[in-house]
Amino acid sequence: MIPFEPTHPDPASEPLRLMTVHAHPDDESSKGAATTARYVAEGHEVMVVTCTGGERGSILNPAMDRPEIVANLPEVRRAEMARAAEILGVQHRWLGFVDSGLPEGDPKPPLPEGCFALLDLEEATEPLVAAMREFRPHVVVTYDETGGYPHPDHIHCHEISVAAFDAVGDPDRFPGAGDPWQPLKLYYSHGFSKARLLAFHEAMTARGLESPYTDWLANWPDERPDPGLRVTTRVRCDEWFSVRDEALRAHATQIDPTSRWFLVPLELQRAVWPTEDYELVRTLVDSPVPEDDLFAGLVERVDALRAS
Q: Is 27 annotated as a binding residue?
A: yes
Q: Is 44 annotated as a binding residue?
A: no
User: DSSP 3-state assignment of 8?
Assistant: coil
Pairing label, strands 233-236, 275-283: antiparallel
CB-side neighbour CA atoms (13 Å) of 95: 33
Chain-centre distance for alpha carbon 34: 11
- Going by C-alpha positions, the residue among 144, 122, 153 that lies closest to residue 52 is 153
Q: Is 99 annotated as a binding residue?
A: no
Using N-to-C axis directions, what is the helix angle for 33-41 and 73-88, rounded to 10°?
Answer: 50
Q: Going edge to edge, which strands form the sheet with 91-97?
A: 91-97, 45-52, 17-22, 139-142, 185-189, 275-283, 233-236
- Cβ burial, residue 221 (10 Å; 0-12/13-18/19+): exposed
User: DSSP 3-state assignment of 21?
Assistant: strand
List the binding residues for Zn(2+).
24, 27, 154
List the binding residues.
24, 27, 154
